[in-house]
Amino acid sequence: MRVHVVFYGRLKQDTGTKQAVLDFDAQALTVRDVVDRVVTQYPALRPLLDTVACTIGAELVSPDQAVRDGDEVGLLPPVSGG
Amino acid sequence: MSKWITEAPLDLNALLQETEDPASGALVIFTGTVRNENDGRPVQGMTYEAHTALAEKVLRQIEAEVLERFPVRRCRIQHRIGALQLGEPSVYVVVRAGHRAEAFQAARYGIDEVKKRAPIWKEEHYITGDSRYLDGTPLQPPQKEEYPE
- Within a domain: residue A81? no
The answer to whether B43 touches B68, Cβ cutoff 8 Å, is: no
Give me the residues paired with residue B27 across strands: B96
Which residues span the domain enclosing A21?
A: 2-76
- What would the pLDDT profile of A54-79 be if each residue is shown by its tens digit? 999 999 999 999 999 999 999 999 99
- DSSP 3-state assignment of B36? coil
Domain borders along chain B are 5-133
Report whether pLDDT(B94) > 70.
Answer: yes
- Within a domain: residue A20? yes
What CATH number has the domain bearing residue A9?
A: 3.10.20.30
Number of domains forming the structure of chain A:
1
What CATH architecture is B5-133?
A: Alpha-Beta Complex (3.90)
Give me the residues paired with residue B79 across strands: B5, B91
- Within a domain: residue A82? no
The answer to whether B7 touches B49, Cβ cutoff 8 Å, is: no
Q: Which A residues in the span 10-69 are in contact with B, Cβ-Cβ below 8 Å?
A: 10, 13, 50-53, 55, 57-62
How many whole angstroms separate alpha carbon A5 and alpha carbon B35?
A: 33
pLDDT band at B115 (very low <50, low <70, confident <90, very high): very high
Contact: B91, A77; criterion CB under 8 Å: no
The answer to whether B72 touches B93, Cβ cutoff 8 Å, is: no
